[in-house]
Structure 1
């Protein structure tokens, strides 16, 4: 496979046109110009002074790739194995909620684009379109479901069961959002899209949630929105609660938001099937450790017992090479594909993913490695 070379030739020969900026910084800038302040900053901004978001990028700069020469990298293998499936690339679309605020088709367009590219799509609890509609859009593509654990545990159980029935292959429980953080730009704009009925599609079509209402959401949307505001998030959860969700599904369960090695050990002890090292892209705790800085210790804490994935700050192929070399099995992409969605819908998402994957392929090859399996810490030097 010569993914990067093929993409290059198609672009240079005008077989494929660039519909969105190739450079991440230009992609973000153009999305900012197109979107209104509320939606743009809901996606782009982070918690507090945004120190964590900056730390995520600074962490990548500290690690440098030391390429090796005279290595046969003519043919490359970017595939990885996860939970009995062969993924063509070590990349997944991170769960991003309320995608309808940047494009009408929202999660449906992103799921279609991910499936067309061969990238698994993780559908958020906070989607505007229901998990069933997203699953239909993804078709035969690999899809996982991300759970925000509701205060009403029967709603959480219902969503997990719906996801398994709809063909999702894993459950990703986000641990770092028992409540929403202090996000200065959202406060400044007085913008919370859920209060306008966006991002609650999974609730509006959930039988347990609807059973808590006096009448259907179609007849009284405001009451449904108010109920959502009362049940979203659950700060009372502890490790012992994980057993409850385990009883609701036979799917692998990954825990997203782990940053401390002791939490990684607890995840392993309580039967987690995977960990996603993440600080929510800087959106929850300002001043927190960078996800990449947390990654090596967490990989060491769990060894080869369960897969460790990583997100927060991935922007280019070199970032992916560094994360995989430090122990991640795969990475999640968030904001970049959302900017692609904002600018050009499904085609924009597909092209953003195409560009990142091509960059990954070429960077790996030029570093002297021909497969993901060959990436390890010996490729890097910390400055």
Structure 2
């Protein structure tokens, strides 16, 4: 599948406005973290079981009370309207058709309510903005529209510079699509609030009535603090290499975070996941599910909603094959003993 994702990216690059492609593909500074992400998953080695009946493999799970056909989710990414005229509406259709879950970015090109009309189960990603009233209204809108959880991104107190992103973005006729869900406020109030601390987890939960997962965690001690502050889940992520360059790859940060959190809340992970075998490794290292970022954008640009659905189904099929070859017939059997050198306490 790694070739499939590479082919999708190449085809998407041909179709996208050059400024849009640069925005989607870019990392911060020297793009070291971007370059390391996929290779980090491939650095792990597997210890498959044999002589197991693997004639039937089940990739389904229940995540935060939601039944899903696959542990491969569509993570939050901004401005899908540059990839497809229907933007996140098209993405949501494709994700729903694959039996997966969408995490809708607060920087989406389409209003929350339009996406919710066609979505299957979905969560809403949120930044805590300098104007807290705007943030509060966002999360209340998401709750009213049917979001099942919030995903608070915490690794972007400031937006890191991305040297590759230079030209104005092709935002369409409205010219302000990036702010479909945060209109009518001053530019400085749209910025992330760099003063927030762990108390914001409980504040957002109270404002929305929804569980709050925290995204952007790479350290075990931070993960524990998030759980102690009321987080309903932790997402191991380095923001796709778009924030602090040289931040450790998610594939290497995941085991310590999963070990520290234990069974208290689900741990998810994103960043550089290109194959079903990557997904298998992530689950064995302690993740409950994984999220895809750029591959969804490439699939959307090339094939619209159908392309997104086909991508997710391809990951699910690849995972099913990898599980069978590793001797695991369901996700409960994907344990740490399948990974060479991984800790065995969660096995």
Specify which of 71, 82, 86 is matched with residue 67 of structure 2. 86
Measured in 1, the distance between the counterparts of 2:289 and 2:260 equals 17
TM-score where L is the length of structure 2: 0.94
Match of 2:345 in 1: none
Tell me by how many angstroms 1:22 deviates. Answer: 6.8
1:6-44 C-alpha deviation (Å, 9 max, x unpaired) = xxxxxxxxxxxxxxx971111111111221221001111
In structure 1, distance between residues paired with 2:263 and 2:251: 18
* Matched-pair contact (CA < 8 Å) for 1:203–1:228: no
In the alignment, what sits opposite 1:48?
Answer: 29
**Would you say 1:119 and 2:100 are equivalent positions?**
yes
SS of equivalent residue, structure 1 residue 95: coil
Superposed counterparts of 1:172-251, under 5 Å: 172-187=151-166, 189=167, 191=169, 196-204=175-183, 210=184, 227-251=186-210
Q: Determine whether 1:357 maps to 2:336.
A: no
Detail structure 1 runs of 4+ shifted over 4 Å in the superposition: 190-195
Alignment of 1:162-173 (within 5 A): 162-173=141-152
Contact preservation (8 Å) 1:98, 1:198? yes
- Residue 190 of structure 1 deviates from its aligned partner by 5.2
Which residue in 1 is equivalent to 2:213? 254
Q: Which residue of 1 aligns with 2:51?
A: 70
Q: What residue ranges of structure 1 are gaps of 5+ in the alignment?
A: 1-20, 205-209, 213-226
Instruction: Count residues in correspondence.
Output: 341
1:240 Cα deviation (Å)?
Answer: 2.5
Given that 2:20 and 2:170 are in contact with CA atoms closer than 8 Å, whether structure 1 keeps it comes out as no
Q: Which moved more, 1:346-355 or 1:228-237?
A: 228-237
**Which among 130, 138, 150 is matched to residue 151 of structure 1?**
130
The residue that corresponds to 2:302 in the other structure is 343
Which has the larger Rg? 1
Matched, 1:284 2:243: yes
User: Residue 340 of structure 2 aligns to a residue in which SS?
Assistant: strand
Quote the Cα distance in structure 2 between the aligned partners of 1:370 and 1:338.
31
Instruction: Point out where structure 2 has 5 or more consecutive residues left out of the alignment.
Output: 343-347
| 1:292-328 residue CA offsets vs partner (Å, 9 max, x unmatched) | 1111111111111111000011111001000000000
Rounded to whole Å, the distance in 2 between the matches of 1:371 and 1:158 is: 40
Give the CA deviation at 1:229. Answer: 4.8
Task: Please name the residue that 1:267 is paired with.
Answer: 226
SS at match of 1:172: strand
Instruction: Measure how far apart 1:163 and its partner are.
Output: 0.8
Normalised to the residue count of structure 1, the TM-score between the two structures is: 0.85
The answer to whether the Cα contact below 8 Å between 1:173 and 1:254 also exists between their aligned partners in 2 is yes
SS in 1 for 2:155: coil
Q: CA deviation at 1:133?
A: 0.6
Q: 2:280 corresponds to which residue?
A: 321
